[in-house]
Amino acid sequence: MAISFSRTPEGDVISDHHLIAQVLGEALPYIDFLKGKTLVIKLGGSTLEHQRGVLQDIIWLRALGAYPVLVHGGGPYINEWLTKLNLPTRFVNGLRVTDAATLDVVRMVLLGQINQGLVLMSSQMGGKAIGLCGTDGGMVRAHISDERLGFVGEIDSVDPMPVEALLKEGFIPVVAPLGEGPDGTCLNINADLVAAHMAGALNAEKLIFLSNVAGICRADGTLMTEVRESEARQLIDDGVISGGMIPKVTACLDALAAVPRVHIVDGRESHVLLRELFTDKGAGTMIIR
Ligand SMILES: Nc1ncnc2c1ncn2[C@@H]1O[C@H](COP(=O)(O)OP(=O)(O)O)[C@@H](O)[C@H]1O
Ligand SMILES: CC(=O)N[C@@H](CCC(=O)OP(=O)(O)O)C(=O)O
């Protein structure tokens, strides 16, 4: 494995190996605690270029006895293909307006490109991953909530059984955010919402969103390490939380009913998952009631 180097806040140069040793020193009680616990990790499309490091951490988590489940997005990749195909890209409150042609592209990119890419890469790295989406085994049932958005699903239920079966057999499930409508149509669902409902259905211990920001930021750009539900709703009303952060925070708030710990962390940061799970300080923003 190639060693990469980064800097501590004090400016010291540290290697990946040094960092891992440092993290592991603090980690032992957390490792014990997480054995047998389900962790739902959502990898945003904005952060897919860092997928190798994220998969490495997920494979380690599995080896340490935790049950990680990866839910992925792919928004920027879908945008790129829509542009290549001269199709318009339009979002309303962070949700893609999805007509029939757009839905075809969404399915091809999420399943053919991203899901399979993640599964192949984890296999290359020694992990055993299986790719699936919400329509497999009727896992994610949804309905069209707003006709103006087209084929966009609002989730009715998530059956945890397919993912639980894979976890039991030693696999890392990699889930693409599509769902099945009442009439058997495929629906495009925001990946943050799929991750939140999946975490609830699985009784997950933690739900962690990896995005391309340090966490939830104030209007002046500084990081909020903890955000309460009432505060989050106010930040949305004030427009401080906008765009793709709206479904993410809404998903966090929904998940809090069933999942004890919900975090938004910086997926660009090396080994951020290990930092969040195995250090006292944690990482990013923790959402609390
Ligand atoms: N208050 C905020 N704090 C942090 N990010 C915010 C905030 N409001 C809006 N954003 C935007 O939300 C983006 C993350 O959402 P999104 O692009 O959907 O990412 P992902 O692909 O990881 O789901 C950030 O890149 C940032 O531009
Ligand atoms: C309805 C809706 O918006 N679906 C999303 C699904 C992918 C996604 O959520 O990707 P990110 O996690 O990268 O945002 C979309 O079409 O972009």
Q: Is residue 25 among the annotated active site residues? A: no
What is the percentage of the chain residues whose pLDDT exceeds 70? 91
More confident residue, 194 or 22: 194
Residue 77 CA: nearest ligand 2 atom is 13
Structural domains in the chain?
A: 34-288 (3.40.1160.10)
pLDDT at 19 over 90: no
ipTM: 0.96
- Mean predicted lDDT score pLDDT of the chain: 92
The closest ligand to the CA of 242 turns out to be 1
More confident residue, 53 or 8: 53
Exposed/middle/buried for 89, CB within 10 Å: 0-12, 13-18, 19+?
middle
**Catalytic one of 44, 206, 248, 254:** 248
Residue 173 and residue 69: Cα distance in Å, rounded? 5
72-109 tens-digit pLDDT = 999 999 999 999 999 999 999 889 999 999 999 999 99
The closest ligand to the CA of 75 turns out to be 2
Are 82 and 89 contacting, i.e. CB atoms less than 8 angstroms apart? yes
